[in-house]
Amino acid sequence: MVLAIYNRIFDTADIPVVKRLLELLEFHKIQTVFYKDFYDKITPWHTFRNTPQLFTGKRDLPRNTDMLLSLGGDGTILDSVCFVGNSGIPLIGINLGRLGFLAAIPEDEVDEAILSLVRGSFTVEKRSLIHLDSSIPLFDNAPFALNEFTIHRQDTSSMIKIHTYLNGEFLNTYWADGLIVATPTGSTGYSLSCGGPVVFPQTSSFVITPVAPHNLNTRPILVPDDNVVSFEIEGRSDTFLCTLDARTEIIRNSVQLAVKKENFMVSLVRPDEHNFLKTIRQKLYWGIDKRN
């Protein structure tokens, strides 16, 4: 097995679990490929038996990579999506962050997680992505996201108006600070914090969630993901923020934007003892009230 390892934010507090992980990989003779920046930061703390192969992005990620291991939180997983793109390389996340819906394996289960990989006792889940079409090039030829696409106001405290259309037919004008179009995977992210519903990953839908809407009768809605969702933006400023997951572009209101389901999917790996229901029960503390 060839395992690529990516870490975005290196924290010395994570050194014990990282060293344990590397020792396990060496013990099981798993070939590793390291993100160069992470390798440079970990070498003072760990002695490698052999100098591993390095990568800096999608272009030099070895084609024979069997899996990419993300060390961090959900943001690190979202970065990893840009590395694998449509290559079909599955992603697995060990949570060194906080909430961890995507990087759902806690650091105290590293031993079990690596053993699951060695034994092949894991499940690969396909997750849909959202794709952005725009009238100008945006996001460095990676116009897709695992969690969500958003439009936000910029340089003003005033609300913006986002005229929204489904397959060219008018849906609604959102008077708000912004608008989120989330995938089922992204329903437990930014959309959830703005009052959107939790959606099972296998659901074929988008969640359209306004950010701080002015109209009290405006609520999040689910639409089938075979729709093309397009937008026209108005506001006191001529520029707005447009995001795909954690990546941001500044656009003018003359830019035409539309989102749809991406034509490829991303694979997420989970040990057999983990599943979506277990994750949301743990992360949202469902069932903790013993009176039920």
Question: What is the 3-class SS of the chain, one letter each residue?
Answer: CEEEEEECCCCHHHHHHHHHHHHHHHHCCCEEEEEHHHHHHHCCCCCCCCCCEEECCCCCCCCCCCEEEEEECHHHHHHHHHHHCCCCCCEEEEECCCCCCCCCEEHHHHHHHHHHHHHCCEEEEEEEEEEEEECCCCHHHCCEECCEEEEEECCCCCCEEEEEEECCEEEEEEEECEEEEECCHHHHCHHHHCCCCCCCCCCCEEEEEEECCCCCCCCCEEEECCCCEEEEEECCCCEEEEEECCEEEEEECCCCEEEEEEEEEEEEEEECCCCHHHHHHHHHCCCCCCCC
Which residue did the predictor score with more confidence, 104 or 80? 80
Q: Is the pTM of this model over 0.95?
A: no
CATH superfamily entry for domain 129-263: Probable inorganic polyphosphate/atp-NAD kinase; domain 2 (2.60.200.30)
Q: Report domain extents, the chain.
A: 2-121+272-284, 129-263
Catalytic residue among 37, 40, 66, 74: 74
> What is the pLDDT at residue 272?
73
pLDDT for position 170:
98
Residue 106 sits at the vertex; the CA angle it makes with 104 and 109, to the nearest 5 degrees, is 120
Give pLDDT tens digits for 131-165: 999 999 999 889 999 999 999 999 888 899 999 99
What's residue 183's pLDDT?
A: 98
Q: What is the pLDDT of residues 15-29, one digit of tens each?
A: 999 999 999 999 999
Q: Which residue has the higher pLDDT, 243 or 108?
A: 243
- 292 falls in which pLDDT band (50, 70, 90)? low
**38-82: per-residue pLDDT in tens?**
999 999 998 888 888 999 988 899 989 999 999 999 999 999 999
Across the strands, what pairs with 91? Answer: 68, 268
- CATH class of the structural domain 2-121+272-284: alpha beta
Q: Is residue 74 among the annotated active site residues?
A: yes
